[in-house]
């Protein structure tokens, strides 16, 4: 095992002398003028900054991130298409607050409704979409809560598709960040909708309320919200030099305030942290011995890219330990977990990931299995 660890370390440059590792000095995060907020790495999910992030509060129109997410979910499964025509109900047409200005009895494409929800924050568009997907807004709310549970949104409960003030309708900064992350990672083809600055419908041109789209060219989403109870809210995302961050600010004092406070969070995160890829999907880290197989070794590596959030300027190499299962016996299927890699040092573990079989190994013949069983017996004996 010791020789195996040295080989892994030399090949991937993961062992470094701590005497030569420059410390990464990171100041305390900014204190924002908002009731709750969070900053996460979109690719790893690591939390960089948080304040009251699990506190349940009114989410206002950040609710529409879930409405849009469900639409994208249904689109991805072929249950909807952008070309579908949705007939506008009286309820949707009569919605107050921010609107797309759709008319009762007319038909609107799903694609236009998506833009109306995301860019114009249309309450009317959200209700029309909810009714089309689930038959009624209340049934759609039940669907929203099911998705929230699947996404691990533990401090959220939805009763409508818009975020219009209602009893028992709440979420949290952390939950909204999880939802934003799922939107970005699961449906990348639709994500450009969140960066569009204007949308015109019925000859009415409305701007995206996310001011950061104009101020910071690295920002490409996501959604604003405001009610008297919720204050001013903004879920934003930006990508710089391969690192994508998501900020959620809830309960800011003003429209300008939510933009300024969100910018503080994003700038802090990009200045002091980065996402680093340690291993690639399918990368081989070991050829492990197989007992009783049609071949004597199996290639071991990763099912997905291994990413880690790290302080900037930290050393270019990181300690890593590969711990393989003591006995690997055929048959082996692709994806079978055969060990674990631990990145970091004792007391400062950055991540642990399973290593898996990258190829299948069938059982060997009778005499091969018999011979290996005898060898394995004496190996364990001594």
Residues with a catalytic annotation lie at 61, 64, 121
Helix 173-186 crosses helix 64-76 at what angle (to 10 degrees)? Answer: 30
Output DSSP code: residue 271.
H
Dihedral sign, Cα of residue 375, residue 380, residue 381, residue 382: positive
Q: What is the C-alpha to C-alpha distance for residues 249 and 270, in angstroms, rounded to an integer?
A: 17
- Tell me if residue 305 falls in helix, strand or coil: coil
Q: How does 101-140 read in b/e, with b if 16+ C-beta sit within 10 Å?
A: ebeeeeebebebbbbbbbbbbbbbbbbbbbbbbbeebeeb
Half-sphere exposure of 19 (CA within 13 A, CB side): 0
Place of tokens 């409704």: 113
* 161 alpha carbon, distance to own chain's centre: 21
Smallest CA-to-CA distance from 161 within 61, 298, 28 is with 61
Q: What is the C-alpha to C-alpha distance for residues 157 and 141, in angstroms, rounded to an integer?
A: 9
Give the residue numbers of the binding site. Answer: 223
- Tell me if residue 277 falls in helix, strand or coil: strand
Give the residue numbers of the binding site for substrate. Answer: 223
Torsion of CA 69, 75, 78, 84, to 10 degrees: 140
């Amino acid at each position: 095992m010791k020789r195996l660890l040295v080989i892994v370390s030399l090949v991937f440059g993961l062992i470094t002398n701590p005497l030569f590792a420059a410390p990464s000095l990171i100041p305390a995060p900014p204190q924002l003028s908002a009731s709750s907020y969070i900053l996460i790495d979109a690719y790893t999910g690591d939390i960089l900054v948080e304040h009251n992030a699990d506190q349940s509060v009114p989410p206002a129109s950040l609710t529409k991130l879930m409405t849009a997410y469900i639409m994208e979910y249904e689109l991805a499964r072929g249950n909807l298409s952008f070309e579908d025509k949705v007939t506008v109900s009286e309820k949707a047409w009569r919605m107050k607050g921010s609107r797309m200005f759709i008319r009762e009895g007319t038909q609107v494409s799903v694609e236009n409704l998506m833009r109306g929800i995301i860019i114009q924050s249309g309450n009317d568009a959200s209700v029309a979409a909810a009714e089309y997907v689930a038959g009624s807004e209340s049934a759609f709310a039940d669907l929203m809560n099911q998705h929230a549970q699947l996404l691990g949104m533990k401090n959220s409960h939805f009763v409508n598709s818009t975020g219009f003030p209602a009893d028992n309708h709440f979420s949290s900064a952390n939950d909204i960040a999880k939802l934003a992350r799922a939107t970005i990672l699961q449906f990348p083809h639709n994500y450009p909708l969140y960066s569009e600055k204007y949308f015109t419908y019925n000859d009415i041109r409305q701007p995206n309320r996310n001011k950061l789209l104009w101020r910071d060219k690295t920002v490409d989403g996501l959604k604003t919200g405001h009610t008297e109870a919720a204050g001013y809210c903004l879920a934003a995302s930006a990508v710089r030099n391969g690192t994508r961050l998501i900020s959620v600010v809830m309960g800011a004092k003003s429209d300008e305030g939510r933009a300024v406070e969100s910018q503080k969070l994003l700038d802090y995160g990009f200045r002091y942290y980065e996402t680093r890829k340690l291993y690639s999907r399918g990368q081989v880290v070991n050829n492990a011995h197989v007992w009783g197989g049609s071949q004597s070794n199996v290639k071991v590596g990763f099912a997905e890219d291994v990413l880690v959030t790290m302080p900037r300027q930290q050393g270019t190499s990181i300690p890593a330990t590969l711990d393989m299962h003591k006995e690997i016996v055929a048959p082996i299927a692709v994806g079978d977990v055969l060990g674990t890699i631990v990145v970091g040092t004792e007391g400062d573990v950055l991540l642990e990931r399973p290593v898996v079989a990258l190829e299948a190994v069938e059982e060997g013949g009778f005499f091969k299995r018999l011979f290996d069983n005898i060898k394995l017996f004496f190996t364990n004996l001594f």
